[in-house]
A = this chain, B = another copy of it.
Amino acid sequence: MNEVFKALSDPTRRRILELLKEGNRSAGQIAEAFPIGKPAVSHHLALLKAADLVQSEREGQSIIYSLNTTVFQELLSWVYKLRGTEAEPGNAFGGTHETR
C-alpha cells in the first residue's frame, strides 16, 4: 500500500493515470503527452506498475499500458476508514458492509 501512495505522490504519474483513463496507450504515446524524456516516463510507468496501478502488455513492438482499477478499491477503503462514515460502496447501489 505504501507503493501506491508513493506512486500517487508525483503529479506526472497522476496525469499518466488520468490519461490511461481515456484509453490504453503505448509507452511512446504516453511519453509524447509529457514534456519530459522517454526514460523518465518509462521510470514513472515502472513505479506505477510496481504499485499495481497499471498493467502492461506487449503488442508487437509496442508495450500497451492500461489502468488496473482493482487497487483503487484498497485506496478507497483506506480513505473511508479515516473519514469515519463507513459507506465504502463497491458499486452505485450501496456499501459492501453497512455499519448499522
Which A residues have a C-beta under 8 Å from some C-beta of B? Answer: 2, 5-6, 8-9, 11, 14, 17-18, 21, 67, 69, 72-73, 75-76, 79-87, 89, 91-95, 98-100
Knowing A8-B8, A9-B9, A14-B5, say if A85 contacts B92 (CB, 8 Å).
Answer: yes
Query: CA A67 – CA B79 in complex, angstroms?
Result: 12
Query: CA A89 – CA B86 in complex, angstroms?
Result: 11
| 14 A-B residue pairs with CB within 8 Å | A5-B8, A5-B9, A5-B14, A8-B8, A18-B82, A69-B83, A75-B79, A76-B79, A85-B92, A86-B92, A87-B92, A92-B94, A93-B94, A94-B94
Complex interface: chain B residues within 8 A of A75 (CB) = 79
